[in-house]
């Protein structure tokens, strides 16, 4: 039997994949801050704090003109730094775990959408009418965040040895409602971003209906835009409830999806309540930040369910040699 001294001198075993998984998690946190700060940028009308110049700000690398300029410059600087982290995480993941299809695809989606986000952000600054681009910008940012968060999740799963697990295929009804929720989330995100970009929220400061204006069939009417957003939130609640019911029915074979279904319904309810708080506080910045933060988490959880209902998704497979080695 080994003595205590001999055991203490034994070299520590490295945890495989820990640095990469931790770096991916840190990149995910950075992207979350980029999304939130980008929304603060929009909510405070700071998107043009640097004028129509890009990438410099009024021709300066470190501007300190006013608060709006500082907010816009901070958003650009943080996005640039996190973009480099995203590139490093993607290349690192490809080199280490190229054989895992989930890692390969999620790293590509995350990096690709970060690049697209940068291009659209520049176009939003340079375009004289950028409300639609601002809405598209947020949707792209959420896609990049969700892909990076799921990449970190997959890498942590590989580190923990979950790659050897195989899961039952999700029931068809659950697959249908999951994809319905995912598609509808894009609609909700883009309409919500358009509400923020056009300041349509101030047109209706009562809840749930609007008593301070009249809706028309034109999206140029801010009351129409805001009420459309509220209607979409209501429909999202109905879809989330149906998704929850289907996930509960499948909990015996897919407990992972059942847990995610619970989370989706809870987050939708919280999102609707945060919308109420937003109205009651007359669009306070803190309520705005809470609203977009919840939307970001909700979008990511729905994306995780979408990944989970794909055939063989959510269960990254190891190389045959690795599996034989683990079995030995």
Residue range 67-96: average pLDDT? 90
110 close to 169: Cβ distance less than 8 angstroms: no
For 228, the token pair is 């459309």
How many Cα atoms within 13 Å fall on the side-chain side of residue 286? 3
Residue range 116-128: average pLDDT? 77
Q: What is the pLDDT of residue 32?
A: 94
Q: What is the pLDDT of residue 74?
A: 86
| ∠ Cα 165 167 170 (to 5°) | 165
Q: Among all chains, which residue has been given the structure tokens 């209501």?
A: 234
Q: Residue 134: is its pLDDT beyond 80?
A: no
Residue range 134-138: average pLDDT? 76
Taking all residues of the chain, what is their mean pLDDT, rounded to a whole number? 82
Q: Residue 167: is its pLDDT beyond 70?
A: no
Q: pLDDT tens digits, residue range 64-79?
A: 668 888 888 888 889 8
For 314, the token pair is 């959510």
How many Cα atoms within 13 Å fall on the side-chain side of residue 78? 19
pTM, two decimal places: 0.81
Q: What is the pLDDT of residue 4?
A: 44
Q: Which range is most confident: 10-14, 66-70, 206-210, 291-295?
A: 291-295
Which residues sit opposite 44 in a β-bridge? none
Residue count of the chain: 328
More confident residue, 5 or 95: 95
Residue range 12-29: average pLDDT? 77
How many Cα atoms within 13 Å fall on the side-chain side of residue 204? 24
DSSP 44: T
Distances (CA, A) of 143 to 41, 297, 304: 19, 11, 12
């Amino acid at each position: 039997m080994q003595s205590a001294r001999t055991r203490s001198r034994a070299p520590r075993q490295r945890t495989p994949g820990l640095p990469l998984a931790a770096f991916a998690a840190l990149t995910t946190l950075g992207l979350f801050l980029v999304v939130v700060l980008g929304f603060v940028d929009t909510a405070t009308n700071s998107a043009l704090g640097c004028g129509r110049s890009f990438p410099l700000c009024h021709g300066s690398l470190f501007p300190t003109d006013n608060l709006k300029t500082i907010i816009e410059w901070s958003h650009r600087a943080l996005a640039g730094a996190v973009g480099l982290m995203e590139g490093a995480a993607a290349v690192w993941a490809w080199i280490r775990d190229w054989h895992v299809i989930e890692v390969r695809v999620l790293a590509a989606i995350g990096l690709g959408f970060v690049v697209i986000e940068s291009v659209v952000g520049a176009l939003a600054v340079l375009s004289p009418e950028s409300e639609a681009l601002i809405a598209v910008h947020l949707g792209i940012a959420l896609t990049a965040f969700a892909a990076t968060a799921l990449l970190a999740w997959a890498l942590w799963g590989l580190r923990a040895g979950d790659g050897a697990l195989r899961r039952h295929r999700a029931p068809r009804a659950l697959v249908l409602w999951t994809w319905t929720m995912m598609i509808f989330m894009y609609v909700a995100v883009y309409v919500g971003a358009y509400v923020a970009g056009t300041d349509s929220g101030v047109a209706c400061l009562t809840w749930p209906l609007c008593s301070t204006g009249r809706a028309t069939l034109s999206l140029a009417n801010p009351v129409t835009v805001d009420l459309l957003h509220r209607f979409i939130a209501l429909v999202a609640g109905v879809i989330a409830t149906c998704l929850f019911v289907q996930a509960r029915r499948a909990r015996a074979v897919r407990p992972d999806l059942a847990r995610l279904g619970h989370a989706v319904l809870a987050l939708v309810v919280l999102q609707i309540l945060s919308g109420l708080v937003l109205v009651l506080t007359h669009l306070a910045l803190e309520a705005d930040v809470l609203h977009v933060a919840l939307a970001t988490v909700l979008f990511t959880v729905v994306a995780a369910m979408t990944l989970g209902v794909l055939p063989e998704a959510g269960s990254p497979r190891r190389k045959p040699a690795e599996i034989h080695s683990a079995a030995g």
